[in-house]
Each structure stands twice: as structure tokens, then as C-alpha cells.
Structure 1
């Protein structure tokens, strides 16, 4: 095949050219012949090339070498690709994509026919330009900016669709070269050269898929709230099943001149059934200190059947009351202990069920009703000869029966009002995608900026009774840790195959991989 026939096939735009090399071997020499076959139904090799490139600059360099081959230039001594060659590569890729995505519109424009309404508003036209001896027929947006003092590319930008991989590579390059610009800035920069259909949605997708931008504003995962455990809805005595957590530190001062303040903590016990709160002052976080305040708790509230640790919502309420009440005041140990008891009484006097609108319904149910029969912050009722609970009108046995009936009335109100209030999901009411093994996540850490959160890969997941994943094990640089999914943020990257992730052989209680 001679060079002229090759140029005719190239200009026809029928499709990729496939060369079949046939060799006939003889005793003295080898004859080589080339057979050219052109297929129309084959996909365009240049569009396939876009999917194989990981960056926009790499794609332009490859196209620059292809252009050198097409133009049949002699071997240049300069290996570095010039800026004009990169621009030529960009325009050639745009022309290929326009003919592939707007093939019917291209024909209509050549015949001066009307387009679909969403394209006709842009008033597109075919612009013929010449660059370094190469002619391009590109579709540009007409618009109304002919007399505007801006460059020609901004007056009549190139028309492209946002569905191609070439546009995604171009937007990623635009986003990174302009210091991870936001959506509005990207759209403004994009329209200086290209008019992209659905540009805002495409730029938003690129910004959200940027790992660097995601680490500055990570979105923690969530899952539909699971069902309440049996310990939360059982009618048992207060603190039979409870949870414990710590808050602090708080500093106490000694009445000795020159002595520095002492760091202390507060242990928060929460009853699972009545939401009653018990606070204990702790001098440190050692095991002996824990056993000491736990003995004090058992002596005052009774031996619990189950004790859960961490993730108690009452810690936030207790710490808020303590900080608002104490502030920067210099308190002694005795003063801080007194303040803890007052905060405990305040928390146990909060209504756990909303009162009705009828004034005859009585006072709202509080944890104090389930502890002593009344809110802890109210004064005791006066007793006298004319009182309801006087000895003249009520015998001791009758009084005991009345108090028992009153306590049972509170528990009946608890089972009707408080349990019914737990029916709704105040948050996490929508089911989300389950976390899978192999996903890359960042782990939320308190008092640490998001840029310094640990990055890890999920190695195991734990599903609840609703078959939803709520807990996951994550392998980080410091070992394997176990976290709830609302402490994890899924990175917008492709994950590794599941077969490559292995479950750790041993996992100790401290959340680290045993060696």
C-alpha cells in the first residue's frame, strides 16, 4: 500500500486501520507484505486510549507522538514535546470526541439544519482552523459574546459532553493544577476553553472524588439505627444494667500555697432502663482507682447484672453541666464532689417522657420517680395532722401499700410513655450502603484535625440483628482497631479485591494485632 492510499483512508474517517503482516520465507530472503483492512463497527482506538491513561498530561504526550507518526516527520533530535504539539494533541482529541458523541448533530450542522432544543440554545457552529499545517473542524458554541474583550476560546468555547473519560481526565487535571479549586471556580475556568454540558454536576463529581479534598472535610458513615437491646426495654430496678464512661479532666486545688492543681476525672454511670445517672469523682485512670469507685457505686446503687463501657450519651450532658457550672473556678475536692452531686440530681430530674397537654395528667416522668418516687431537685412534702399522709388518716401498712402502688404507677407510666417515645429513630433513619471488606477509610479521632486522621483498610465487618454492618475492624499503620461505622469515613477511591484482605489471626482486647 502506497502513502497516498494511506492518506485517503485516514481522511475518510471510517475507523481504525488494522495491518496484517504476512511473511513468505525462502531459502535466501524474507518477503514482507502488508494487507490493510478497514472496519466500521470497531471502536475508535483513540477513545480506547483515553480509558487506558491515568492522567491528562500522559494522554497528550502519547497523542503528540501519534501526531508525529501521522505527519511522517523525520526523526527529530529534540525529544521534548513542545507546547504547540500538546495543543495539537488536545484539539485532535476534541475533534475525535465531537465526531463520536455529536455525529448526528455534526451532520445537521453541515446541512444547516436545526438541532435539539437543549443544543439549539447554544447556537453551535463548525469552526475550521489551521494549526501547523493541520486543519480542524471543531464544533463551538455561538453565544452572544462576539464583541466581548475576551479571548476567542472564551467567546466561542468548544462543545463537549460530560460523559466521556477524556473530560474526566481534563477536569481532574484542572482541579489539581489550580490548587484543588472548588466547583464554582472549576466551572469558571472550564468555560474559558470548553463549554461542557452539565458542567456543574461533572465538576461536583470530580471535587467529591478527590481524596485530598475529602480528607479536609471527611463525611463520616452512617447506617439506619438498629433495634433496641432487651436490656433497654426490661422493667428492672435502676442500675441493674448500666453503662460506664469517663469525662474530664477537671483540676482541683489544694489549700496549700505553691501546690499545683491535681488532675481528676468523673466516672458516669447510666442506667439502661430508667436513664438515671450516677457520678463519681476519680483521682486517676488506673485499675485500682476504677475498682475503688466501682465499689462505692455498688454500695449505693446495688450490684449490677451487666456493665457496658464507652459511648454513653450522658457524658456529653454531664460535661456540659460541669463546664457551665464550674468554668474556670478553682475548686477543691470537696467543692467539686458537692457540685457533682448537684449535677447528678439535675440530670436525674430531666423528663424522660414528654408530658401531655392536659393539666390533669400530673408531672412528667423523670428518673428520680423511679429512684425515690419524685424528682430529686424538689423539696419534700410537709407532713401534718391535716396532710394526706398523716398518721391519723393512714396506717403504716396502708402507707406501705400506697407507696408500693405509687412506685408501680411510675413503672406503668415508664412502660407506656417512655418506651413508646423510643419507637422513633431521631437520627440515622435512612439505610445506607454497607461497609465492605477491602474498603479504604479514615478513622475519626477526637481532638485531632482531619488531615491527621489515620488511614486504614477494612479487614472484617460485624453485622447486627438487622443484617446491617455497624462495626468494622480496620488495619492501620499502628495495628488493627475496632470502630463503629459512624467513626469511619469512606475514601472515594477504588478498593482492593476482597481475596487480598485476610482476617487477622489474633485480636486482643486492646484493639491491637497480637504478634
Structure 2
């Protein structure tokens, strides 16, 4: 043991020299934690009284440490929207998104074939989690409205439409040529008594209810294409595959499959959409028309009541589980120093840009006044 370690120089924590020493040896150990910095100070022959609190405070304010090991800003998880918890008819409140494209063969030519692209619009019921998929032929406003018209014609008009407006849906809307102030689209929605709610910019996590289902649809479609081995699709084949994807998603269990023998039926979205608990054929035998008309409505009503009862008892309780973001934390304010995790635009700020944050009303953080 050296003489400096045997007889260290004692310095009070409140002295300015102690702060300078901590900053110096913290840089010497390449901005490591309190354990490394405190050991370097002691090895240099200095004993700072209450050094642990001083070193922790300086590391907490160190700009380089915040750049290297900065944590993401989060906030307490908000309550679910009311349309996720309401027992309304299917597809009353709808979330939608566009995904794709796929190359399909449109016509055969003498030299081969002419290809074109197809996209899919996924509509999901916010309460029952049912799914409806429509194909669109072109990235245009009229093509999207045609898909919306087909959806309303099959599933009935919706009261609320929800979608992203950041990197997901607004980017697709720009390619589709759809503007939120588009007169043709606005007129069609107003005629149907429907309102369109867009999520805040750069908040794709708020559309997790349909983003999750898009991922499921992609995986099912990839598995189908892998099994068939078909790489040359036609519009008819792709439309058939999308219908099968829709049927598989709607047949998925909403809750864990119970091992109780008294509850053999599985709670699925198709249980309400088709009013069928299984795909078995009708039993053989003779039934009069009076029995058919007298008892069928009771069976349909019983299935619907059973679905909503189990939906409230089993599925609704699973939505209230908060596994993360349970504590309320301070929000980012104007003048706070922030570090962007990823790049929003190629020509915008770089990935490691460090500057002063300006928070706009929509919740987007804009970097201004760079600090070097």
C-alpha cells in the first residue's frame, strides 16, 4: 500500500475542490459508475467525506453519461378509450390501417405477364377484436373509399374510425392521396354519420390494437404462401388468401383456453359474427318450419348473450392489467435537454443530436438551440 493510500488527504464534501476532483477522476475512468470513480479518487490519495452522495450527484448531472446511458422518457399508462370497453354491435368503433404491397399478375402477355401491386386495408372492431380485410388496387383516394364502401356494406356503418397519423397511416395517406380535409372523403363520412379520430404524431403505440393484428395477418399470409409455394399471385388468389386469413384471425381465442369441462366453448370474435360455436354440419332429421321459426331466434339471442356475458367476465378484466408504466412521472417541458433515440427524417437532425427540447401542443418533441 502506498503512502497516499495510508495517509490520504481529507477533503470535505461541500468544498469546491472536491467537486473538481470528482469530475476529473470520473473522466479518467471513462465515465463509469460511482464504484469506479470513488475507487480512482481513493487510489489517488484523496478521502472525500460523504463522497458517495457527491459522486452520485455529479454522475447524475454528467452530460456524457446521459448521452451514453440515458433512459427513455415514459409516463403513466393512460386509460383505455371508451369504445374499447363498450358492448356495442360489432364494428361500431373501428381501427384501421393499410399494409402491403404484394405483386399480382393482372394479365398474360406474349412476352410474359404484366404485374401490378395490391394493398390491404385492415379494419378491426375495437371491442370484439374482430377483423375485416379489404384489398385495394391502387394508392388513390377513390380506391380507398371503395374499400370503405365495401366494408360499410358488409359490416354496416361505423360510428368511429381510428387510425395512426404518424409514420404508419398518415404516411400511407400521403401515398394514397388522402387528406384529412379531402372534400370527397369528408362528404362520404358525413353522409354515413361517422367521425374519424387520428392519433397524435409519432404515437404508433396508441394504435397497438390494430398494429398487433397486422403482424398476425402477415405471419399467417407468409405461412400460407410458404405452404403453397406460389410466388406468382393473381388478384383472385390473393383475395381468397385474405379471406382465409380473416377467418383464422376471427377464430382465435380472446382469452386463455379454459380447462374447465363445463366451459368447452372458446370465446372468439367469430362466435358473435357468425353465431356459430363450431363449424360442424347441421344434424340430420326432420324439422318442421314452425320449429325452425319458433326457436331459431332464441338460439341466436342466447349465443349473443353468452358472448357478451363471457366478454365482460373474462376478456374485459384482462384489459385492466398494467404490467408497466404504472407510476406517474414529470412530463418533458420547454427548455428540457433531450436526446433523440431514432431519426424521424433523413434530412432532419442526426441520431446523436443533443439540444434543447421544445414541446408543441400535439405532444411532439422538436429539437432547437443545439448545445455542443
Bin the TM-score by the shorter chain.
Answer: 0.5 to 0.7
Q: After superposition, where does 1:101-140 map in structure 2 within 5 Å?
A: none
Tell which deviates more after alignment, 354-363 or 304-313. Answer: 354-363
Match of 1:112 in 2: none
What is the Cα-based RMSD across aligned positions, in Å? Answer: 4.1
Instruction: List aligned pairs for 1:11-160, cutoff 5 A.
Output: 145-146=1-2, 152-153=3-4, 156-160=7-11
The alpha-carbon deviation at position 237 of structure 1 amounts to 0.9
Equivalent residue number for residue 192 of structure 1: 43
Residue matched to 2:103:
252
* DSSP-derived class of the 2:96 partner: strand
Provide the rounded CA distance (Å) in 2 between the counterparts of 1:374 and 1:199.
Answer: 71
CA offsets 1:50-105 (integer angstroms, 9 cap, x no match): xxxxxxxxxxxxxxxxxxxxxxxxxxxxxxxxxxxxxxxxxxxxxxxxxxxxxxxx
Q: Which residue is 1:224 aligned to? A: 76
Matches within 5 A, 1:327-406: 330=231, 332-334=233-235, 335-374=237-276, 380-385=279-284, 394-406=291-303
> 1: distance between equivalents of 2:360 and 2:50?
39
Cα gap change, 1:333 to 1:418, in 2 (>3 Å):
same
Correspondent of 1:242 among 74, 94, 99: 94
- Native 8 Å contact 2:341 2:351 kept in 1: no
The Cα shift of 1:410 comes to: 1.2
User: Quick one: distance in 1 between partners of 2:322 and 2:301?
Assistant: 34
Post-superposition CA distance 1:285-307 (Å, at most 9, x none): 54334323222322222211111
1:269 has 2:123 as partner? yes
| 2:161 matches 1:307 | yes
Q: Quick one: higher RCO (CA 8 Å, sep 6+), 1 or 2?
A: 2
TM-score scaled to structure 2, two decimals? 0.67
**1:319 alignment counterpart:** 215
Q: Identify unmatched segments of 5+ residues in structure 2.
A: 165-205
By percentage of residues, which structure has more helix? 2
Structure 1 residue 360 displacement after superposition: 0.1
The answer as to whether partners of 1:215 and 1:451 remain within 8 angstroms in 2 is no
Distance in 2 (CA, whole Å) between partners of 1:259 and 1:153 is: 84
Which structure's CA Rg is the greater one?
1
Structure 2 distance, partners of 1:316, 1:421, is 16
Quickly say closer, same or farther: Cα 1:474–1:153, change in 2 above 3 A.
same
- How far 1:356 sits from its partner (Å)? 4.6
| Structure 2 counterparts to residues 445-456 of structure 1, below 5 A | 445=342, 451-452=351-352
Q: Please state how far the C-alpha of 1:210 moved relative to its aligned partner.
A: 3.5
TM superposition shift of 1:401: 2.3
- Segments of 5+ residues of structure 1 without an aligned counterpart are 1-144, 147-151, 462-470, 478-492, 494-515
Structure 1 CA distance, aligned partners of 2:12 and 2:67?
29
2:332 corresponds to 1:441: no
1:265–1:283 CA contact under 8 A, matched in 2: yes
Distance 1:252 1:199, change over 3 A: farther
How many residue pairs are counted as aligned between the two chains?
Answer: 315
Q: How do residues 269-288 of structure 1 correspond to structure 2 at under 5 angstroms?
A: 269-282=123-136, 285-288=139-142
Distance 2:34 2:115 in 1: 51
Distance (Å, rounded) in 2 between the aligned partners of 1:155 and 1:163:
23
The normalised TM-score by structure 1 is 0.51
CA distance in 2, matches of 1:290, 1:166: 68
